[in-house]
Amino acid sequence: MLQTCLSTGDLPLPDLCIRTGGEHRISNFLLWQLAYAELYFSDLFWPDFKHEAMRTALADYASRQRRFGKTSEQVEAGARA
């Protein structure tokens, strides 16, 4: 219910957040919406974040196990059931 009251309430929740510039924090940016998103941090500044850097970020994202708040064991147990 709270999600619908946010300014992004009519948008889907993000799966991936890429933070450039070497900072390893989200600075309260979309704090509620990023609860189950994967975070990727790059030392590159935004103007330097080109196609190859995006491919690297997406490859890193593709290699992750999406757990949505669960442990790896819980995800694997659910896949077996």
Q: Could you tell me if residue 5 is inside a domain?
A: no
Q: Could you tell me if residue 36 is inside a domain?
A: yes
Q: Could you tell me if residue 43 is inside a domain?
A: yes
pLDDT at 45 over 90: yes
- Distance, in Å, from the CA atom of 79 to the CA atom of 26, rounded to the nearest integer, reads 31
- Distance, in Å, from the CA atom of 19 to the CA atom of 7, rounded to the nearest integer, reads 21
Read off the pLDDT band of 62 (50, 70, 90). very high
Number of domains in the chain: 1
Q: Could you tell me if residue 40 is inside a domain?
A: yes
* pLDDT at res. 50: 98
- Distance, in Å, from the CA atom of 2 to the CA atom of 76, rounded to the nearest integer, reads 30
* pLDDT at res. 59: 98
pTM of the model: 0.81
Q: Could you tell me if residue 42 is inside a domain?
A: yes
Q: Could you tell me if residue 7 is inside a domain?
A: no
3-state DSSP call for residue 18? strand
Q: How many CA atoms lie within 13 A of 60 on its CB side?
A: 14
What's the domain range around 20?
A: 15-65
Q: Could you tell me if residue 77 is inside a domain?
A: no
Q: How many CA atoms lie within 13 A of 6 on its CB side?
A: 15
The mean pLDDT of the chain is 92
